[in-house]
Structure 1
Amino acid sequence: MATLKTVLHTKTDKKGKKEFRLALRLTVNRKRSYYHLGQKLKPEFWDESGEKVKTSHPKYKRLNRLIRKKYDEIEDIIFDLEASKQNYTAKGVIDSIRKDTRKLSFFELANEHIGDLINANKHNRAISDRSKINTIKEFVKNRNLTFEEIDEQLLKKLKIYLRSNAGISERSAMNVLVLIRLLFNIAISKKIVDRKFYPFGKDKIKIKYPQTIKIGLDENEIRKIEELDLEEGTPTWHTRNIFLFSFYLAGIRISDVLRMEWSDINGDRLYYKMSKNDKADSLKLPDQVIKILDYYKIDKRLKSDYIFPDLKNLPNKDSKTIYTRIKSSIKRHNTNLKMIAGLAKIDKKITNHISRHSFGNIAGDKVSPQMLQKLYRHTHLSTTIGYQGNFIHKNADEALDAIINFSK
């Protein structure tokens, strides 16, 4: 026999603070499963005997309507199962409601999206997208939006809010809109919302990233870093190795560098998959890279060992643990790179990602865009051309000189 009840489900966060969440609790054969309605409520606003939100709450009508809607949906499923004499469990019924994507709200689908990222071990993206979703929640004051409500007018107001109240950059604001567009496309594909409500595209909301200036190191500055007299085994020495390893291999992202294992090296080649887009590639190991690897071989025990020590001695290879360690390592290396810039007397901000910009800056127009596309592991050639445009100045410089040097 099934028992369905609306309750305030208590959850304690990491700081020990209690949260009370509106939920439907289904009990079947003494086993319970909860369907959370995506709403938090203070106990003083909850009528436990009536299983409803008290009229003293400013949004009691909307919340009680939400409760009734989901309550009826779960009851309908139970009635259908019992009428057809099918066995069922509380979890099975609740799971079927969660999968009933036709009725998902924007934030419910967003939660599913973040859950999918976590299950796919894409913790960096999950954390980033969760932060964007929280910003949107702040803007709508935790209102449980339907996709139909996300129209051009709301998005225009959101853009203003992001730049003024939230105080984020134009580029970050565009990233929030990109996430909304992604979720909208998922909702359309799952028939949660009709395409006619799509607020993006021609004569609607356009997503255009502002141009940014990418500045890399030049050959002389790279040489200064190479020639620094750093004591072997020190943190700054290790950071320099990581930075140069990335630079020598066409600016491999540091998160990929730290994840590399000895098994990724076969003979004189590196075989690896880029975590950002899962694109596999193979690169010949330059002599400079082989020299760096020789320093770390002394600690090699197994082919599955990490090349660099940043991820060693982890209790397991859990993706979330690895992500947390990588994040702290990147912060530490960026701090060390500031010291290295000072020692090398380089008047530019140096971070781990600058190794990629430096490769592009030194490559300039020496190599064809098609070859650079392969070296950068870009999926589209247009991405490479746009990226490299930040570093090719020769023709423009010559044209400028030709115009203003008329008096010579």
Structure 2
Amino acid sequence: MASVKVKFRPSTIEGKEGTIYYQIIQNRVIRQLKTDYRIFTDEWNEAGSCIFVGRSERSNLLLSLQERMEWDLKRLDMIIHQLDNRKSTYTANDIIVAFQNRVDEQSFFNFMQGIIKQLELLNKIRTSETYTAALNSFMKFRYGQDILLCEIDSDMMMLYEAWLKSKEICPNTVSFYMRILRAVYNRAVEKELIEQKYPFRHVYTGIDKTVKRAVPLKVIKYIKELDLTLKPHLDYARDMFLFSFYTRGMSFVDMAYLRKSDLKNGILTYRRKKTSRQLTVKWEKCMGEIVNKYESYSDMQYLLPIITRCTDERIQYRNAISRVNIALKEIARLVGLAHPLSMYCARHAWASIAKSKNIPLAVISEGMGHDSEETTRIYLASLDTNVVDKANGLILKDL
């Protein structure tokens, strides 16, 4: 196995900084790997082969150089370990070449950022955004300090999970981040950058049963009848919520990209962003009332006033969904709802109300554009406890 030593070469000119380099030895052949780290002779600890930081004016610089050296040595150890695992002969020069050419691949942050860029190039914008959110969370946990791919282990992931829980992040979000990081880690394994150590085996990567977000039809009526004349931001949010409900729980992203050309001969045709499945909806009077209310935006190609400029469309959509969901929480308080209201509740509500009217599951699934009835079941609210209590009473009555 190759070995690495840190060396210091003093300058031949008195009072000038010397340079730090790495001595790499493999099969008794010695090669030097140069660095751009420069220090004075009295800042070098020969016995410990490290920088003497001290309390000089240069202490911050020296501490930074020491951290960079430690990072370099970790990377070199990782490269040597990988070359040893391949069980083929290699030279000291091979180690140097790998070190110089594979900086991004060995850093977890950089490796994941590379995957995010690939997703963006493939136009998988939503997926790239979720990967970015997971990376940002992990970077906060690490206080911005990068980590090598080979340093991702079960202890690290358990610490990250504990950190997320301390921030009161819900279990499903914790699991969501873990699954994304696991996918990135497995990609590195596939590329043979690291060996599989199963670092996620002790953290939660399942999906908890969530609290149902459906609201009954009477609440939808309360929301519809609210007088929001003096609160235009709430009025707008209410209109977007109702439009989603009217159109069988259309998702906000699909609403945002509806074009006027999608409405022809009383039929609204659109393709779901999530699944690319094409759906058609019969145009109803209540839908037209909302669209007509915002005729001032008729110069735009879009049907609804969500995207109002031709630039930064994705940013406009994200800002709009954020504003609408905040406003819907205020609407929830106005109608006395015990739980928060969001655009997603409209989708859940349509499915649950359809179920309560004994509409077949297959029809509900088709109406929502699901690929399977199993997906639809997730949306359906549990039976009213009063119904269950009455059923139990009938059973006990016969005792």
Q: Same fold (TM over 0.5)?
A: yes
1:144 aligns with 2:147: yes
Provide structure 1 residue ranges, at least 5 long, that are not aligned to the other structure. Answer: 1-44, 78-93
1:374 aligns with 2:366: yes
1:161 aligns with 2:163: yes
Which residue number corresponds to residue 172 of structure 1? 173
Distance of 2:170 and 2:151 partners within structure 1: 25
SS in 2 for 1:353: helix
Residues 239, 290 of structure 2: 8 Å contact kept = yes
Give the drift of 1:229: 4.3
Which residue number corresponds to residue 352 of structure 1? 343
Letter in 2 for 1:276: K
Match runs of 1:217-296 below 5 Å = 217-231=215-229, 234-296=232-294
Q: Output the TM-score relative to the length of structure 1.
A: 0.66
Residues 237, 324 of structure 2: 8 Å contact kept = yes
Give the drift of 1:264: 2.1
Q: Output the TM-score relative to the length of structure 2.
A: 0.68
Give the drift of 1:392: 6.8
Distance of 1:208 and 1:287 partners within structure 2: 43
Which residue number corresponds to residue 47 of structure 1? 38
Q: 1:306 aligns with which of 292, 302, 306?
A: 302
1:295-330: per-residue Cα shift (whole Å, max 9, x none)?
34564246xx11122321x2x33xxx2232223322
Distance 1:212-1:67 versus aligned 2 partners, 3 A rule: closer
Distance of 1:252 and 1:117 partners within structure 2: 25
| RMSD over equivalenced CA pairs, Å | 4.0
Give the drift of 1:213: 0.9
Letter in 1 for 2:113: N
Question: Greater CA deviation, 60-69 or 277-286?
Answer: 60-69
Provide structure 2 residue ranges, at least 5 long, that are not aligned to the other structure. Answer: 1-35, 42-48, 54-62, 81-91
Letter in 1 for 2:138: I
Match runs of 1:79-158 below 5 Å = 97=101, 103-120=105-122, 123=125, 125-140=127-142, 142-146=145-149, 148-158=150-160
Residues 348, 381 of structure 2: 8 Å contact kept = no
Distance of 2:140 and 2:213 partners within structure 1: 35
Residues 296, 307 of structure 1: 8 Å contact kept = no
Letter in 2 for 1:62: E
Letter in 2 for 1:145: L
Residues 106, 148 of structure 2: 8 Å contact kept = no
Residues 118, 126 of structure 1: 8 Å contact kept = yes
Q: Percent sequence identity over matched residues?
A: 22
Distance of 2:383 and 2:95 partners within structure 1: 59
Give the drift of 1:178: 0.8
Letter in 1 for 2:373: L
Which residue number corresponds to residue 401 of structure 1? 393
Distance of 2:391 and 2:185 partners within structure 1: 46
Question: Greater CA deviation, 394-403 or 373-382?
Answer: 394-403
Give the drift of 1:72: 6.5
1:67-118: per-residue Cα shift (whole Å, max 9, x none)?
87799779859xxxxxxxxxxxxxxxx9xx57x99x5443332111222233
Distance of 1:187 and 1:136 partners within structure 2: 17
Distance 1:386-1:62 versus aligned 2 partners, 3 A rule: same
Letter in 2 for 1:216: A
Letter in 2 for 1:327: R
